[in-house]
Amino acid sequence: MAVMTTLNPIQVVPLTQLDDGTIMITDTGVPLETVVARHNLGETPMEIHEGYPTIDLAVVHLVIAYYLSHKTECDAYVEQQRQRTEAARARLETRPGVADHLNDFRARAAEFRATREADPFAVNQ
């Protein structure tokens, strides 16, 4: 006698919208736009999971499937978030001393990258 298995064809995508409008992958601390960006850069679901281990691999697949099924809306949301981030960055950089700190940080980061490119196995002293 065959045993009948019942499958639930409805899969819930674990997304939570915060009061400020940011959409987070529930209980991970990772915003939707991060997974979308990584996917659009060509990363595989496994690579995204490895980079953000708080997101279960199955959830990465769910989020990407949701994105692909709602691409227009998600792309508009991602653009809105990018604009919000740029506006916040512009406001922050107008504060006294912040631009100097950022320029110093960027210079040190560029120097670090140049050192790593020259010798990827170099150890910082």
What was the pLDDT predicted at 9? 77
pLDDT of the residue at 124:
57
- Residue 6: the pLDDT is 81
pLDDT along the chain (125 residues), means of 10: 76 94 96 97 97 97 97 97 92 83 89 82 60
pLDDT, position 103: 85
* DSSP code of residue 30: E
Pairing of strands 30-31, 23-25: antiparallel
Q: Which pTM value belongs to this model?
A: 0.72
Q: Do 41 and 78 meet the contact criterion of CB atoms below 8 Å apart? A: no
8 A C-beta contact, residue 79 and residue 29:
no
Query: Would you kindly state where each structural domain of the chain is located, as residue ranges?
Result: 15-118
